[in-house]
Structure 1
Amino acid sequence: MRRLDAKVKKVQDNTASSGFIARARSEWERVKYPLKESTMLKLRDILQEQKLDLILIINVLNTDASSAETETLAQHMSQLSCNISQLEADVGENKNILKASVQDLKRKEVLGWIYSQDPFMLYQSRESRRHPGTCQWFLQGREYLQWRSTGPLLWVKGEVGCGKSFLCSAVIRHLQSYCTAQSDNILVHFFFSFADSHRPNPLLCLSSILRQMCVNDRVLQNVEELYEKFNGSTASRPLEYHDIELALDSAIACLQQCKEVYIILDALDELPNDPDEYQRSRVLSWIKAIATRYRHVHILFTSRSNSNSRDIEDFVGTIPSIEIVTIDAMSNRDDMFSYLEAQFKKSHVLNKVPGHSLSQTLNSMISLSGGMFLWVHLQMVELTKLPTPRLKDIDHILKTMPPRLDDTYVRMLQNIHYLLSSEAARALLWLSLSLRPLRLVEVNESCIIMPQNRPVIAEEDRLEGEGILPCLSGLVRRTGIDNKYLALSHFSVKEFLTSEALKHDTCSSYGFQDNSAHALIAESCITYINHCYCSENRTGSRTDLEQFPLLEYACRYWFEHMILAGGEEQMSLASLASTLLQSGEKWKYVTLIYNHMIPDVPFSCAARQLTLRTPLGWAAALGLESVVHLLALQRPADLHMIQDIRFDPKCFQVQEPCEECYMIRFYPTSGTALMKAAQFGHTSIVKRLINDGADINSRGEFGKTALSIACRCGNTDLVKYLLDSGASPSGVLTEAIRGSSTLICQLLLDAGAVADEEIKGEIHLIVAAELDYDHICQVLLDYGADVNRLIEVDDWETWDPAIATDALTGATMFGNIETVELLLSNGAHIRGSALAYSLTGVEDGPSDKHREICNILIEHGADMNPDLGAFFNTPLAMALYNGWLDIARCMISKGARIEPSDPTCLLAGNILVAAVSSVDMTREILGIGVAADSPIAAVHQWAWGMDGDACNFTTALQAAAYHGHVGTVELLLANGANPNVLGPPYGSTLFSLFAGTCYAIENIGPESHEKEAKKAYNLSVRDKTIQIYKVLQERGVQNIIPWGSLNYDAYRTCVRGIKYSSIRTANAMTRSIDEEKFAILSGGTFCRVVRS
């Protein structure tokens, strides 16, 4: 008792303010996301120690002792039990927090991958600038209400600046409330912008819409599957437009259960109508297809109605059911009056205008506007500059107001102070053509760069504070988070600056042409990089990005502006760019800020200096054709040089290297300049390099060629060119299959590729079947692929069953139903491996698709008794483990064998163990003659990893007790099962029961935060445990310690014919569940659950 009292005191001390519980609580409060796994494990270990102490004390308390000391101990233990329960709750709660955090992180990662921007940013920007109460004329109109109810398409058109974007934001605001009231409805939107004209807008649009639809769990699951397929080093190829289009179509289809799906698309006319890229026509085709195919989808889109939107007019003419609303002067009149009235009242000068004069002034402005909100806004900018509210001054401004928008812009340019006209012109140029939004500090820096001067930036030219912004009032506006960014006030500003009319105006110095302007920005970026690198203030760290505000932009986009400059302008910069690429340490510094080969945040890893071997390789990768031509003439030997340099990054020498260095070290790419150009899709550079003498069939370290890279990227035009230029099609068909391009596969097969070729242990048809590309499977079969060809396996003893040896098995592994049906229709033989995979899946267990495939295989005559080898269960046992009782009975009716006297145990005891989840199925198997105590043979899982201790039981009674199947336990005992048979994994039936109870309570059922549901679940587990325990007691079960240790050498060699129970031994060898651990898992449950 003294020893026990000391033990209680030790435990009691752990509850004090300085004890374990207090420390644990303090630690959990201090730990921040993400929670460390090691901390969780330490807490659980300490908790298990406390459980052991509790077990020892409870065993004493269960004796007949009646002394006062025992009562004191009981009080101590009661308090200790409460503390431990609280600690368990704390650990459980933090486990849930960790799990939720990990899930949330994964969700954010997936959503950021599908569309990296905030899909609500442009909407919030427009909504914040929309005058409250406007657009009610539209929201209450017949066309809108009919569209919201039943209409598939609604086109809102109007002239430039009439307020179409604000109307869209009003519609979104209205539909948000409407969809909240109608909880099943879904609202998505996308705002096209001229600022994104250089980007693949159709892809961005559909990606944004798909991301917003991920509020639906089924859509999110589909996007996660897309993420697994196309993200990271395992991606078969980059994600393309048609992939997003198919995924979005699938998402819309699965949302048919929703009441309605609303899609709002603003400023469709700002999407480029490039005849080579078909950007606008792609979106128009998608709109028509979706509106035609799905009745639950409603699409509203806006655009201008002028000569630049003629294709939109033609498109609308092909859809008779479309509704059209035109924004004109009468539509906007009340909104304009409300807006102007509020602006006058807001101004500390204009709010003094008398009421009757105010009304007359507002009506005059509205009459002059022609329904153009933007024009009205720009005139208000001029009116707010008045020093006093004299009516004659207001009247003068009204009479001198420019009648057209272009005239208004001219007046604004004329008002810019002549000393800042050059800076203002450069700022407008950068804002018009920048490839991402620019911060105010970046604009102030860009407008003082003089590429021809030395230095390129004079310190006396710097602009402080607001800088150039006050000069550009009306032409530029603040935007973005905290208004740190600048943007042109409207699309029409850029149109005006590049117009023909401005060329002949007195303000022509502000105009520009895109090609020459991009060239100027590219030159400014390169000279700015040189300026920063040579500066005494450069540190080589992230501090440089603050010291030199435009440095990150310059390193990231200089070459893209050079590409956009076009042929002649690019040639003029070739020498400057070539010098930068050959500048050694300076170029390494640039790649630390932005590396095109491994894009990352600037200075993310100072130890990583990944570079290509020659400047020619960089020029080819960056897409600089003029520089490639120049370097190929200067250094012809570089044409044939492998560009990638193997390196062991210093970063990897630390304990936790960054992920990029890890991937680069183990998965290095390799190739010539020609292959780099093919990798990044620069077709014109590929052509030039071949013309300059590059070897078209040169192979990299892993056998890659320019053709194989083009096939993997799905670049059909480049594949055609390479084949026409003499590229060998041998060995590249697999890359085309992984690129999922049927057309490229046909091109290669027509050029001489062999459909049935085996390359590096891969057969084309198997690869296509595993990827579920049934269209490519059909092409391969049409070109002579053998549907039953097997991969040659040298040693079946070491063969991994996770590798498919035939196409049908490959399709079955991944649940590809359509491909399975295609292969069967073409005469595929059903091997045992295919049937087995239909019952197990590959990694995460069988899905509904696998179940359907299993039925298909059975209907097509699959052998119910295939020889799967010495280590695996029969298909019938697999079906029973899945709980697929209908399939199991079908198998039996089709001849699946059950043999009570089977010496291997696979056809008797193993099947009985697999059936314990069903009383009826267990009864049927017992009725065939299988003994209730039939021994089993140890087996491995065919594919997915179920816990071996949960399936390899010595007897069916142990399995039924572990899983808590009361009825099955009673049935087995009634049929003569012995409850005292000893054997793995838990030693006896009694301890199998306790181990199963522990596992169920700790790992199965509702989450800990669902307290009531968790409590009810634990109670049900307890009741089942007590029922089984009482039944076992009635049958004379012995309360014995586990039988001892497990001989693992015997376990590993346990095969057919060696009964699982025969591997018990008296040797004191370690095993996964020793007596001490078992006491924790089973003994504690015994005391807590059975005797409570």
Structure 2
Amino acid sequence: MRQVRENKEQLSKLRDEVTRTLYGVAELTEGYRDAQLSPELSTVLEDLKNHLESIHDKCRKASQHTSWFKSWWKRDKIDREIKRLNELKKDCYEQFALFSAARIEGKADRLLDTTTRIENHAAEIMSTTSRTEMGTVGIADTTSRIEQTTDLLRVRALKNALEEWLEYPPNMKKRQDDTQELQHKGTGSWFLDSDQFKIWNERPGFLWIRGDSGTGKTVLRDKKAQYVKIMLQSIILQLSAQSQNLYSALERQYNSCKGQNLPTYENLLSILDELLDDFSHTYIVLDALDECNEPDRLVKFIGYLRHRTQTLHLLFTSQPRQVFTNSEVFRKSPLVVLTPKITHSDIGRFIDSELHQSQLSHLTHRMRIEEIVAKVLQKSNGMFRLAALLLIELRNAFNPDLDAILANLPDDLFGVYSRFLERIHPTAVFYVSAVLRWVTFSPEPVTMIRLEDALAFDFTNPLEFVYDPTRRDESADRVCKMLEGMIAVNNEYDNSERRQSRIVRLAHASVEDYLVSEKFSKEYMAYDLRNGPSHKFLAQTCLGYILYFADNSLTSETRLDYPLSKYAANHWYYHLHRNDDPALLSSLVLRLLEDGSSQYAALTEFMPPLLGSKAAHPLHLCCRLGYAEAVRFLLQRGASPNMRDKYLTVLQDASLNGHTNTVRILLDSGANVDAVALEHACIHWHSDIIRMLLQKAPISTLAAWVPNTLVRASETGPIEVVRVLLDSWTALNASQEVSFVNPVLAASKGGRTAILRLLVEKGFDVNTVDDTYGSALQAASSNGHIDNIRLLIEKGAQVNAVGGQFGTALQAASCCGNVEAVCVLLEQDADVNAGGGEAGSALQAASNWGTTETVRLLLNNGADVNAACGKFGCALQAAAHQGDPQTIQLLLQYGAKVNAVGGKYGTALQAAAYNGHIECVRILLENGAEVNAAGTLYGNALQAASCYGHVDTVRLLLDHGADVNATGGKYGTALQAASVRCKAASSYGRMATVRLLLENGADVNARGGQFGTALQAAEFYGHAAISQLLLENGATCCH
């Protein structure tokens, strides 16, 4: 794609050269009309020759960047594009041949004899040059189309890479489409017409829709989608696809770790903040909050979003769970409660629509639809779910007496589910129980084909299930039909298989509530859906499945014949670990983990690559899983505690995954501790593992690793880890093996008050310095950590210490605009006019980076409004650069000199003009700013505004008497500045500015500055349109 862009740039230059050739041909024709032999005519011919040879060369180069597309773009499409490019290239070659012939015919010694012929050639040259220009336009357009297509393909490839990196979060677009398909026409219109919805739709804020189970909210039965982090990943992917900078924030995070590590929750929040800043309004709907497996974290996340309500419209639905009703965020949110009165009409529409289905036609033949609707509506008591289940019962009933049917039906959801199970034949109970266990306890969506495989067992031996592929039949499908109303089977995209599949799920959240209820456990003990027995059943199934390959070969050809294989290989330990008594299955596990066996080979074949090695020893696998009992057994059988594969030792593997018992067993068996194991334990701050490793690590490892890790932990780690590291620090100090570091600054920067207090109590110096923040007090002040500021001052931090990028703590606090931090420092006698740092003073820092409130506070405490220092020379210039009219007015009220000279821009007016802050420019002019004051880099305000095409600012300056031909600065004149092709300026802005300056008398041929004239500036940057405009206004060519 870089070559495509280069190609496009070459073609743009080629078109400009063709334009210059046209000017040369026009001049040549004028010379022929005079029919006089002159040196000037020969010079024109020679220039023309050079231009045409340049066109020839560029056409050749433009055609070279085509063959590389073939390897990855659609072959038929690119072949057509390449054919067209080659045709255009050939035409350019032919035109050049004509040009060359004309030049040869026009040699000086034969000009008089061939004047008429040359004039004819000149006319032909004019015509063919025009066609050549059209040809280059065609090449540019073709290249542009290719570039657009490559950009589209790049975005698609990036999207796929990011989705794979984030492990394919649920596809909400598909979910939304499915939900819309289920919606019945007219339902929910009362909500869309309500004042609450209209207010939420128009103004940013929250809206909570609350209703009991079955009242008409949608449900979320994908277990993967029931975690806050997964939800956040899905939201970010959706917003990234709509951002102006497609996927850029997410791509940066991806590139920072080269796609090797998943983003942390904090990383995702940061990306979300950046994305929300991209939109003036963002609408997010969070559905079925009560099904989230992390309710406390979810409440915190919604609370986190409160600070974004200036642009965010957030709607969420849930049942009235206590964790929500107790939350202040939820209590303060506008509330819509789904009561039977509200949902009455919607349920009526739903029933009426369902009754027109052919499966219920036998009822409508016997009685009026209105009567059925009324009676089912009354029985359903405001619950969509109950109405739907009642219709299922009516569809299956043979009794024509509707009243008798409804009288015998339960009045609640649990009662209906019990009625469904009553009809199950005793011989089917075992298989019904198996299906319910799979759909309830599987951490992944269950496909019908896997479920059929999971039931293809000989279950007669309760200690060992024997897999038998010949037993595969339609048992799973039959059970799902028996459980209609409790089980739903839908065609969905299966992320694990990357294809559409029939997914089996519980039909509604109320089904899961029923299955874990006391009512179910008492009435249907034979199903036994308790956690322990259910996970034992699934673990036995997975182990029995893989052990099948002990006596049956597995090949690449037969691999696809075993649908449950990947699940069994990846989840056998998941279920075993959750079993009440894993020892019951130990004999099966030991058989599975026989190194070199065909069943172990099958296990590693179906698992994802274990750190790059399918031939990993069972000890590596067990250390990675945290299967402590098996690790102990394998070590007793002679496995080495220092075993390593291509990348890691078993200790490093266990430390990385946070398996405390496994690490303890390895250390007791003689595993060697190194810095890598320690570093891996710190990735997720496993404090107990870090403590164990430090106790066993040699002193040389501690000396190299502890100091820097203590600094890192003080900023981002938990206090328990800091305590552990401090114990080792003390031991190192005693042995005089420690290098100097001071974690106080890191804790101050991170806002870790408890850790900071602990460090100070341990004797660390609060006045430590570094090159970035200068001091711990500056670090705390720049991040607005008030408690840290107070603690540091209390413990003796020097409030006026100078150093670092901020200069002083007061400047640091002023930069972040934290009024409370500034107040605390001023109360502690911070010098309001102390110099140093990039800003030079606290007032300049607040004027450029802070807030108007901070500026006012500093001025009221004696800040010198005209202090000459820092990057911008004075506070007024800093405020003009930042572009806050209120701050500028405040500074002027306090006596700021409007024409003070110095700093980066020279004057405040130039700073505001350069950045296009038109309101600031207007305020400065109204307060006496000298419009023609000479500056530094850009000469004057008019040149500064012209450079970036700020046409409205240029117009305002001209209206106030700016000298359009004033000279000085980098570009010499405003017209030259406007003619420069600055990346930050729009093409429209540059053209409009040049035209405005010319209309106001700008000297088109004025000389000076970096490029000499405006035309030379425009030509240097290849801006043909501006060049043409300048030529039309009398610019003289200077070659």
TM bucket normalised to smaller: 0.5 to 0.7
Aligned-partner SS, 2:181: helix
Q: 1:497 aligns with which of 508, 512, 515?
A: 515
Measure, in 2, the Cα distance between the counterparts of 1:457 and 1:734. Answer: 61
Shift of 1:85: 3.9
Residue of structure 1 equivalent to 2:655: none
Deviations 1:729-753 (A, max 9, x none): 9865566567654434434444555
- The percent identity for this pair of structures is 17
Asked whether the equivalents of residues 448 and 504 of structure 2 are also in contact (C-alpha less than 8 Å), the reply is: yes
The question of 1:131 aligning with 2:184 is answered: yes
CA distance in 2, matches of 1:806, 1:634: 64
Q: Distance in 2 between matches of 1:907 and 1:147?
A: 46
TM-score w.r.t. length of structure 2: 0.62
How far off its partner does 1:426 sit?
2.4
* 1:377 positional shift: 2.3
TM-score under structure 1 length normalisation: 0.59
Q: 1:1018 corresponds to which residue?
A: 991
Measure, in 1, the Cα distance between the counterparts of 2:777 and 2:616: 36
Deviation at 1:512, TM superposition (A): 1.5
Q: Does 1:409 align with 2:420?
A: no
- Counting only pairs closer than 5 Å after superposition, residues 113-192 of structure 1 correspond to structure 2 as 116-119=169-172, 122-135=175-188, 159-161=212-214, 163-166=215-218
Deviations 1:962-997 (A, max 9, x none): 8899999x99998898x9xxxxx9xx979x988973
- Alignment CA distance shift 1:713-1:1038 (3 Å): closer
Pick closer, same or farther for the CA change 1:760–1:525 going to 2, 3 Å: farther
Q: Does residue 834 of structure 1 match 2:838?
A: yes
Question: Quick check: 1:439–1:486 contact (8 Å CA) kept in 2?
Answer: yes
Task: State the match for 2:133 in structure 1.
Answer: 81
Q: How much has 1:460 moved relative to structure 2?
A: 1.3
Give the Å deviation of 1:381. 3.1
Partner amino acid, structure 1, of 2:436: L
Alpha-carbon shift at residue 346 of structure 1 (Å) = 1.0
Question: Compared with structure 1, are the counterparts of its residues 706 and 470 closer, same or farther at alpha carbon in structure 2 (3 Å cutoff)?
Answer: farther
Is the contact between residue 172 and residue 234 of structure 2 (CA under 8 Å) also seen in structure 1?
Answer: yes
Check conservation: 2:303, 2:329, Cα contact below 8 A: no
2:119 counterpart residue number: 67
Deviations 1:872-899 (A, max 9, x none): x98999979969897999999599887x
CA deviations over 1:369-427 (Å, ceiling 9, x no partner): 444433342343344456xxx65497886565456544433443454566654443222
Alignment correspondent of 2:365: 354
Conservation of the 8 A alpha-carbon contact between 1:158 and 1:327: yes
The count of residues paired between Structure 1 and Structure 2 equals 897
Structure 2 residue matching 1:486: 3-state secondary structure: strand
Judged with a 3 Å threshold, the aligned counterparts in structure 2 of structure 1 residues 347 and 510 are, in CA distance, closer, same or farther, namely farther
Name the amino acid aligned to 1:428: L
Partner of 2:319: 303
Q: For 1:204 and 1:756, how far apart are their aligned partners in 2? A: 43
* Among 445, 453, 456, the residue aligned to 1:437: 445
Cross-structure match for 1:797: none
Q: Which residue of 2 aligns with 1:940?
A: none
Corresponding position of 2:683:
679
The question of whether the paired residues in 1 share the 8 Å contact of 2:838 and 2:870 is answered with no
Measure, in 2, the Cα distance between the counterparts of 1:716 and 1:382: 59
Contact 2:841 2:869 in 1 (8 A): no
> 2:276 and 2:685 mapped to 1: Cα distance?
31
Query: Counterpart of 2:1031 in structure 1: which amino acid?
Result: R
1:324-355 per-residue CA deviation (whole Å, 9 max, x = no partner) reads: 74634x66555444433433331246347425
Distance 1:385 1:367 in 2: 20
- SS of residue in 1 equivalent to 2:467: coil
- Give secondary structure in 2 for the equivalent of 1:484: strand
**Aligned mate of 2:525, from 508, 512, 517:** 508
2:469 paired residue number: 459
Gap change, CA 1:913 and 1:83, over 3 Å in 2: farther
Q: 5 Å matches for 1:486-635? A: 486-505=504-523, 507-522=524-539, 524-525=541-542, 528=545, 536-539=553-556, 546-554=560-568, 557=571, 560-561=574-575, 565=578, 569=581, 608-609=612-613, 615=619, 619=623
- Residue 563 of structure 2: SS of its match in structure 1? coil
| d(CA) in 2 for partners of 1:678, 1:744 | 17
Residue pairs, 1:1052-1067, within 5 angstroms: none
- Trace 1:900-915 onto structure 2 (pairs within 5 A): none
Give the conservation status (yes or no) of the 8 Å contact 1:532–1:551: no
**SS across alignment from 1:350:** helix
Q: Counterpart of 2:484?
A: 473
2: CA distance between counterparts of 1:1016 and 1:440? 61
Cα distance between partner residues in 1 of 2:644 and 2:61: 67
Shift of 1:488: 0.4
Task: Map 1:634-783 to 2 at 5 A.
Answer: 638=641, 645=648, 671=675, 676-677=680-681, 679-680=683-684, 699=702, 703=706, 714-716=717-719, 741-757=752-768, 776=788, 779-783=791-795
The C-alpha deviation readout for 1:249-298, integer Å capped at 9, x for no partner, is 9999999x97xx988665454446x8xx84577579789x889x999978
Letter in 2 for 1:679: I
Take 1:135 and 1:1078, find their aligned partners in 2: how far apart are those partners? 60
Could you tell me how far 1:616 is from its partner in structure 2? 7.6
Alpha-carbon distance, 1:71 to partner: 1.4
Letter in 2 for 1:76: T
Whichever residue aligns with residue 511 of structure 1, its letter is: D
Looking at structure 2, the residues matched to 79 and 116 of structure 1 have their Cα atoms a distance apart, in angstroms, of: 54
- Report the alpha carbon displacement of residue 459 of structure 1 after superposing the two structures with TM: 0.9
Rounded Cα–Cα distance in structure 2 between residues aligned with 1:374 and 1:529: 40
1:907-946 Cα deviation digits (max 9, x unpaired): 999999999969999x999999x9x9xxx9xxxxxxxxxx
Report the residue type matching 2:512 in the other structure: K
Instruction: Pick the aligned partner of 2:339 from 327, 336, 340.
Output: 327
Amino acid at match of 1:343: E
- The CA deviation string for residues 614-668 of structure 1, in whole angstroms up to 9 with x for no partner, is 958974x656676678789999995999996499xxxxxxxxxxxxxxxxxxxxx
Q: Report deviation, 1:501.
A: 3.5
Check the 8 A contact 2:166/2:262 in 1, yes or no: no
2:224–2:443 CA contact under 8 A, matched in 1? yes
1:125-179 Cα shifts (integer Å, max 9, x gaps): 4443233333567777899899999999987665543x2315xxxxxxxxxxxxx
Indicate if the aligned counterparts of 1:195 and 1:432 stay in contact, CA closer than 8 A: no
Aligned partner of 1:549: which letter? P
3-state DSSP class of the match of 1:477?
A: strand
Q: Show the counterpart of 2:979.
A: 997
Deviation at 1:607, TM superposition (A): 10
2:187 partner SS: coil
Aligned to 1:344: 355
Shift of the 502–851 alpha-carbon distance from structure 1 to 2, 3 Å rule, reads closer
Distance 1:758 1:353 in 2: 85
Contact (CA 8 Å) 2:643, 2:649: kept in 1 or not? no
Q: How far does residue 452 in structure 1 lie from its aligned partner after superposition?
A: 7.6
The separation in 1 between residues aligned to 2:258 and 2:962, in whole angstroms, is 50
Amino acid at match of 1:494: E
Q: Report the aligned-residue RMSD.
A: 7.4
Please point out which of 420, 426, 433 is paired with 2:434. 426
Q: Which blocks of at least 5 consecutive residues in structure 2 are unaligned? A: 1-41, 494-499, 651-672, 733-740, 916-920, 1033-1039
Tell me the secondary structure at the aligned position of residue 999 of structure 1: coil
Higher relative contact order (CA 8 A, sep 6+): 1
Cα distance between partner residues in 1 of 2:1009 and 2:301:
73
Q: Counterpart of 2:514 in structure 1: which amino acid?
A: F
CA shift, 1:72, in A, is 1.3
